[in-house]
């Protein structure tokens, strides 16, 4: 890692809390419709609808809201009244207005690294929602570049590297998702640090042992500073 010049950070569940908000909202949604179907079956229907809609709506809270409404129409077989629809929309709006809760050590690490490296946010999701969270987080000033991506596949990272004029061997990605933050980056020949979060969206949750000299796994974001110091 002695050639690292740019460090990119995922946002949701790497810089701040995100997935628990979705899980709380999903549980409330399933409870709201339990008179129509068992909650476990509703949860499965919602997840399947989310995955089906990714190619149309992308990621993020608004996509989740649309998938909840579509699931509602399936579960209720078109018989849902406008009051329930309104309650589902309110659940989505409540989630969109959650305060930003930074994860432990994030601010301190960004302060320590800023100046020695170009820091980047590389996250996927709804543009407006991610911009709002970044602004409310108070972290925006630490970053040289913000990239809100429609997806995080290899081609998306190629585009990111082009946008920031960085070679793969000079790039380090930090994130909580093996599927989105780690594997595509390693495939490009860049470096990656995995910080597992205590809960993961089922779509992102993969079990895979990674053996790659450019890959590191840590328990807390604060460990990154010490790792990089070894190569100074």
Give tens-digit pLDDT for 80-102.
788 899 999 999 999 999 999 99
Cβ(60)–Cβ(148) below 8 Å = no
Instruction: Let me know whether 116 and 51 are in one domain.
Output: no
| Residue 208: predicted pLDDT | 81
66 plus 117 within the same structural domain: no
Residues 166 and 185 in one domain: yes
Instruction: Judge if 30 and 51 occupy the same domain.
Output: yes
Angstrom CA distances, 166 to 56, 119, 125, 178, stand at 30, 12, 23, 22
Q: DSSP 3-state assignment of 14?
A: coil
Residues 6+ apart with CB under 8 A from 189: 168, 169, 214
For the cut 70, the answer to whether the pLDDT of residue 231 exceeds it is no
Do 90 and 126 reside in the same domain of the chain? no
Structure token pair of residue 66: 């649309």
**Residue 202 CB neighbour total at 10 angstroms:** 9
Same domain for 183 and 133, yes or no, is yes
Q: Is 72 helix (H, G, I), strand (E, B) or coil?
A: helix
Mean pLDDT of the chain: 94
> Domain limits at 180?
6-16+101-229
| One domain, residues 198 and 106 | yes
Last residue of one domain, picked from the residues 96, 127, 150 = 96
**How many domains in the chain?**
2
Q: Name the token pair of 6.
A: 């740019």
Q: Do 74 and 103 touch, CB atoms closer than 8 A? A: no
Please say if the pLDDT value at position 171 is more than 70. yes
Mode of pairing for the β-strands spanning 118-124 and 171-175: unpaired
Is residue 151 located within the same domain as residue 207?
Answer: yes
Among candidate residues 96, 111, 140, the one where a domain is terminated: 96
For residue range 180-223, list pLDDT tens digits in order. 999 999 999 999 999 999 999 989 988 888 999 999 999 999 99
Q: Same domain, yes or no, for 134 and 196?
A: yes
């Amino acid at each position: 890692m002695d050639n690292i010049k740019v460090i990119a950070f995922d946002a949701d569940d790497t810089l701040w809390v995100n997935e628990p908000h979705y899980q709380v909202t999903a549980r409330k949604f399933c409870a709201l419709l339990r008179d129509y179907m068992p909650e476990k079956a509703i949860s499965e229907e919602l997840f399947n609808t989310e995955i089906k809609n990714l190619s149309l709506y992308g990621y993020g809270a608004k996509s989740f809201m649309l998938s909840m409404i579509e699931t509602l129409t399936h579960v209720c077989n078109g018989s849902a009244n406008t009051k329930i629809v309104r309650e589902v929309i309110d659940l989505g709006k409540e989630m969109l207005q959650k305060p930003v809760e930074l994860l432990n050590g994030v601010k301190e690490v960004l302060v320590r690294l800023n100046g020695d490296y170009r820091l980047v946010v590389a996250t996927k999701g709804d543009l407006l929602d991610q911009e709002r969270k970044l602004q409310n987080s108070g972290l925006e000033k630490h970053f040289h570049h913000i990239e809100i991506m429609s997806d995080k596949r290899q081609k998306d990272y190629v585009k990111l590297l082009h946008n920031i004029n960085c070679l793969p061997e000079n790039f380090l990605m930090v994130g909580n998702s093996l599927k989105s933050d780690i594997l595509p980056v390693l495939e490009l020949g860049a470096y990656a640090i995995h910080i597992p979060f205590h809960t993961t969206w089922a779509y992102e949750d993969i079990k895979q042992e990674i053996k790659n000299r450019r890959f590191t796994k840590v328990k807390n974001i604060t460990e990154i500073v010490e790792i990089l110091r070894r190569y100074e």
